[in-house]
């Protein structure tokens, strides 16, 4: 398998992990304070990362000197707090829809920050994929717009917008090189520390049932550290725009799991929406060139069609 094919597989696997988090969060959010869930979930993910680093003999606290770790941690804490609070007031389907439209913002940011070309294939593919998310989430039912309150919808939408900056920032961090596991673990730890501030200030309550604790443990161990490692690792050879489109597969996973465990309906719209997401991702990848893997020094070799920016800044295609 080529480097690009392997990294495509990593992103798809990450989307499967993340897809389980929507029904998982919906099951526990009523019994767990949203801000406490953010702190606990990311804290457990960080502990798992530290355990992996210790087992590999690569535990090094100097990772916290990296400014990206704290900036991305702040964005992550803000985004998770918004999503976990917003899902209290809106539906899980709307949450997956509004969060995943960030693919549009990611494409815009990549064009601005990394000078990534916005081709007609990319624009058409993004439009098709977003249409698929809309069809899958709303089932083209006007009543869907009445589900939830404006406050919840707005908070979840802002979470998706903030995560677009997180994705582009992660790409910049990866391009600088370093230990991917250590960097992702550092971001998770920084997120947990920053998310703990409102929990400590306001004395938020702890979960009161074993089922709630079990749900928090699952969210921290499964759809947090593993997919973040896979996603960050894939950004060496795949554009964040492509990765974000592939991550839309999490909506399909969430819909299937919601059907199995939450008794949400599974209809022809699920199939049509899923097909649009897959086709949109395929259209965008047509003609995309593989980004060379970063060398030992961090940054990747410069391909022939690269636009060279000012000294001391990141160079990308």
Tokens read off for 153: 């919808």
Residue 298: what pLDDT?
A: 42
More confident residue, 93 or 71: 71
Q: How confident is the model at residue 90 (pLDDT cuts 50, 70, 90)?
A: confident
Single pTM value for the model: 0.80
Identify the CA nearest to 171 among candidates 68, 41, 67, 309: 68
Q: What was the pLDDT predicted at 300?
A: 41
**How far apart are alpha carbons 264 and 139 in whole angstroms?**
12
**210-221 and 21-28 are packed helices; what angle lies between their axes, rounded to 10 degrees?**
160
pLDDT at 275 over 50: yes
Instruction: Return mean pLDDT, the chain.
Output: 82
pLDDT of residue 264: 66
Whether 137 shows a pLDDT value over 50: the answer reads yes
pLDDT in tens, 206-243: 898 999 999 999 999 999 999 999 999 888 888 888 88
- Over residues 241-254, the pLDDT tens digits come to 888 878 888 878 88
| Residue 284 to residue 248: CA distance in whole angstroms | 13
Angstrom distance (rounded) from CA 58 to CA 114: 31
Query: What is residue 196's predicted lDDT score, i.e. its pLDDT?
Result: 95
Q: What pLDDT is stored for residue 240 in this prediction? A: 87
Q: What is the pLDDT of residues 49-62, one digit of tens each?
A: 999 999 999 999 99
């Amino acid at each position: 398998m080529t480097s690009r094919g392997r990294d495509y597989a990593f992103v798809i696997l990450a989307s499967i992990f993340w897809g389980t988090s929507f029904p998982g969060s919906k099951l526990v959010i009523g019994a767990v304070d949203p801000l406490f869930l953010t702190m606990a979930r990311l804290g457990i993910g960080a502990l798992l990362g530290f355990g992996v680093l210790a087992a590999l003999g690569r535990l090094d606290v100097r990772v916290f000197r990296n400014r990206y770790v704290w900036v991305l941690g702040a964005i992550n804490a803000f985004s998770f707090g918004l999503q976990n609070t917003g899902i209290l007031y809106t539906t899980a389907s709307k949450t997956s829809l509004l969060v995943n439209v960030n693919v549009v913002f990611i494409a815009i940011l990549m064009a601005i920050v990394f000078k990534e070309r916005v081709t007609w294939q990319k624009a058409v593919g993004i439009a098709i994929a977003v249409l698929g998310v809309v069809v899958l989430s709303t089932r083209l039912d006007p009543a869907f717009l009445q589900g939830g309150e404006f406050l919840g919808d707005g908070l979840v939408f802002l979470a998706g917008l903030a995560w677009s900056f997180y994705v582009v920032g992660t790409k910049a961090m990866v391009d600088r090189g370093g230990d991917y596991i250590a960097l992702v673990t550092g971001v998770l730890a920084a997120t947990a520390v920053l998310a703990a501030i409102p929990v400590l200030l306001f004395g938020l309550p702890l979960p009161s049932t074993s089922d709630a604790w079990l749900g928090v443990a699952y969210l921290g161990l499964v759809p947090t550290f593993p997919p973040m490692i896979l996603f960050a690792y894939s950004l060496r050879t795949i554009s964040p725009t492509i990765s974000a489109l592939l991550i839309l597969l999490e909506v399909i996973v969430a819909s299937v799991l919601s059907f199995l465990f939450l008794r949400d309906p599974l209809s022809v719209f699920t199939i049509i929406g899923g097909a649009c997401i897959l086709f949109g991702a395929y259209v965008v990848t047509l003609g995309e060139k593989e980004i060379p893997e970063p060398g030992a020094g961090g940054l990747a070799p410069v391909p022939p069609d690269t636009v060279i920016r000012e000294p001391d800044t990141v160079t990308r295609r």
